[in-house]
Chain A
Amino acid sequence: MGASAGRILVLVLLAASIPLVQQRVDTVRGGYSAQEEALYLWSGEHVRRLNPGLENVMADLYWLRTVQYFGGQRIFSKDRRFDLLLPLVTITTTLDPRLEIAYRYGAIFLGEPWPTGAGRAQDAVALMERGVGNLPRSWRLRQDLGMFRYSYLGDGRGAAAVLLEAAKLPEAPFWLETLAADLLANADDRATSREVWTRMYEQADEPPIKGNALIHLQRLDALDAVDALNAAAKDLEAKLGRKPRDAREFVSLLGPRAPLADPLGVPFEYHADQGRFSISRESWLWRPTDRP
């Protein structure tokens, strides 16, 4: 009895020591560290051949890995490299060519400008085109392809053509044709862009797609606000004969003409040398193409 109780005690102590030691290891090594990601198989066909009959489960696993990789790079990685994103999405869609979500989200992950996404617009559109080829009856994929052509490539004419194709498919919403017409008429217009993203926001079922559309709409709001502020700053410069020294002086002289922060609450940056406002680099709404 004594011996067995002693053995049980040793076992309990050993088991209890494991989380304690792990906590020490975590303290020594730091909290989360982004792992060095490695992809051992670069071809979906190879993965398929190695797992006959289990292609779908492998596609699911690669899809989960894609989502985790994208999220991990976006949130934890300092340099936000998305090198493995395209091969991961390609392997996923090769293993399961009917996995619609992988095309839709994969294209967003790839196409959104860095640092929100990988900034690989051409690859995003190519992925969607492959998706449309594999799922020819999906109006959603064609709608997304049209919207991504317009948003990522600035190809209003191509986008309109794809939206018109989507409109002919069963269960396609009535407004696709109207949107296509608007794109043909005013492709470079911010209002048209707002219309595209509003439609996307209204009809998306999946929270991340809705969220992405919302970010685009908030960015358009921020751009409108920045334009209003810059126009006011120009007026003020004409009156003062110099540029306002900082945002505080701007507000004290004119009062807030437009909100001084973007819809996410991040204050706009004021560039005293140019007398202009811009979306802050700290904001999720900032894009590398924004000029100061």
Chain B
Amino acid sequence: MVARGSGLARIGAVARNTFRETVRERVLYNLVFFAILMTVSGLLLNRLSIRQDEKIVKDLGLAAMEVFGLLIAVFIGVGLVGKEIERRSLYPLLAKPLGRTEFLLGKFAGLALTLLVNVSVMTLGLYATLLATGRRADPLLLKAVFPIYLSLLLTVCVALFFSTVTSHTLAAILTAGVVVAGRFSDVVRNMNEVLPGAPGWLTRVLYYMMPNFQNFDFKNQVVYGDPVLTATLAWVTLYALAYGAFLLALAAAVFRSREL
């Protein structure tokens, strides 16, 4: 199953298997719920919202993309390594010429691919709903979709890291906790206003340590047609790459030293 040859090929093989596994686990069934949500929104919102249907369809579509993606990233992400250990399917794999880091990266790439398919199909669904309701397929929406995908990748990194250090359940709780906390980074940053006694260094450390998921939220700007600068997106991408790479490296280090 695992290809001989270059490391990249081996990572690719694990990624393909992981993608197939998520498809077999019916993860992409969430697309059915998304389709129902979009259809119902398209049909009903014009009557219910007083001419706000376009805005609400966009809001709902982008939010659903994020929420469904997050659920997949957290709950599938924490099982990527843990499940293989619990099912003991990891041992024959590691007996082959496959490094633990390669295995981890392959798992990450596989789930990243699943999420890419998920987000892409949802984006097409959102555009189809807009077109079906006589609205324009606004290309600006992609400037919100791309950062959502980045945030999902970072969530997978967090989940993978926790799945290498602790049990499946605890990893899910910790990942969910970090993701939620990362959405409150403005609260952490302004903690001194609420708690004037809190040391400034502690606030700063917390702020920079926690993955800042607010960075990836461009939904509001995009829905209202505000410009999103390419430079901003580039910095956000760089942030996701840096933080994600750090977490994967940390996860790989822990996984390599872990006794199986």
Interface residues in chain A, defined as those with a beta carbon under 8 Å from any beta carbon in chain B: 49, 52-57, 60, 63-64, 67-68, 96, 98-99, 101, 105, 205-206, 208
B107 interfacial contact with A, CB 8 Å: no
Chain A, residue nearest B44 (CB): A64
15 contacts between A and B (CB under 8 A): A49-B184, A52-B214, A53-B66, A53-B219, A54-B63, A55-B220, A56-B63, A56-B220, A60-B49, A60-B52, A60-B59, A63-B49, A63-B52, A67-B48, A67-B50
B213 interfacial contact with A, CB 8 Å: yes
Contact for B52 among A49, A54, A57, A101, CB less than 8 A: A101
B56 interfacial contact with A, CB 8 Å: yes
Chain A, residue nearest B226 (CB): A98
Interface of B, helix, strand, loop or mixed by DSSP? helix
Interface of A, helix, strand, loop or mixed by DSSP? helix
Residues in chain B near residue A98, CB distance under 8 A = 220, 224
Contact for A57 among B63, B184, B213, B224, CB less than 8 A: B63
A98 to B66 Cα, complex, angstroms: 22
Residues in chain A near residue B67, CB distance under 8 A = 54
Query: Most chain-A Cβ atoms within 10 A of its Cβ — which of B55, B60, B183?
Result: B55
**Number of B interface residues in the complex (CB < 8 A):** 23
A252 to B52 Cα, complex, angstroms: 52
Query: Most chain-B Cβ atoms within 10 A of its Cβ — which of A49, A56, A205?
Result: A56
**Given the known A-B contacts A56-B59, A57-B63, A60-B59, are A206 and B183 also in contact in the complex, defined by CB atoms under 8 Å?**
no
> Separation in Å of the B159 CB from the closest CB of chain A?
18
Residues in chain A near residue B45, CB distance under 8 A = 64
> Separation in Å of the B49 CB from the closest CB of chain A?
6
Contact (Cβ within 8 A) B50 A56: no
Residues in chain A near residue B183, CB distance under 8 A = 52-53
A67 to B59 Cα, complex, angstroms: 18
Residues in chain B near residue A99, CB distance under 8 A = 52, 55
Residues in chain A near residue B213, CB distance under 8 A = 53
A158 to B217 Cα, complex, angstroms: 40
> Separation in Å of the A156 CB from the closest CB of chain B?
29
Residues in chain A near residue B220, CB distance under 8 A = 55-56, 96, 98
The residues in B between 207 and 224 inclusive whose CB is less than 8 angstroms from any CB of A are: 213-214, 217, 219-220, 223-224
Residues in chain A near residue B51, CB distance under 8 A = 101, 205-206
Contact (Cβ within 8 A) B223 A56: yes
A114 to B8 Cα, complex, angstroms: 71
Residues in chain A near residue B55, CB distance under 8 A = 60, 99
Query: Per-position contact with A for B31-52: 1 when CB-CB < 8 Å, else 0?
Result: 0000000000000010011111
Residues in chain B near residue A55, CB distance under 8 A = 220
A49 to B194 Cα, complex, angstroms: 15
The residues in B between 2 and 54 inclusive whose CB is less than 8 angstroms from any CB of A are: 45, 48-52
B180 interfacial contact with A, CB 8 Å: yes
> Separation in Å of the B56 CB from the closest CB of chain A?
4
Residues in chain B near residue A56, CB distance under 8 A = 59, 63, 219-220, 223
Residues in chain B near residue A53, CB distance under 8 A = 66, 183, 213-214, 217, 219
A205 to B66 Cα, complex, angstroms: 33
The residues in B between 148 and 198 inclusive whose CB is less than 8 angstroms from any CB of A are: 180, 183-184
A54 to B184 Cα, complex, angstroms: 12
Contact (Cβ within 8 A) B50 A105: yes
Contact (Cβ within 8 A) B49 A206: no
Contact (Cβ within 8 A) B50 A101: yes
Contact (Cβ within 8 A) B184 A60: no
Query: Per-position contact with A for B63-102: 1 when CB-CB < 8 Å, else 0?
Result: 1001100000000000000000000000000000000000
A206 to B50 Cα, complex, angstroms: 8
Contact (Cβ within 8 A) B48 A57: no
Other 4 A-B pairs with CB < 8 A, given A49-B184, A53-B183: A56-B59, A68-B48, A101-B50, A101-B52
> Separation in Å of the B138 CB from the closest CB of chain A?
15
A56 to B60 Cα, complex, angstroms: 9
Contact (Cβ within 8 A) A57 B60: yes
> Separation in Å of the B177 CB from the closest CB of chain A?
13
Contact (Cβ within 8 A) A67 B49: yes
> Separation in Å of the B132 CB from the closest CB of chain A?
19
A206 to B51 Cα, complex, angstroms: 7
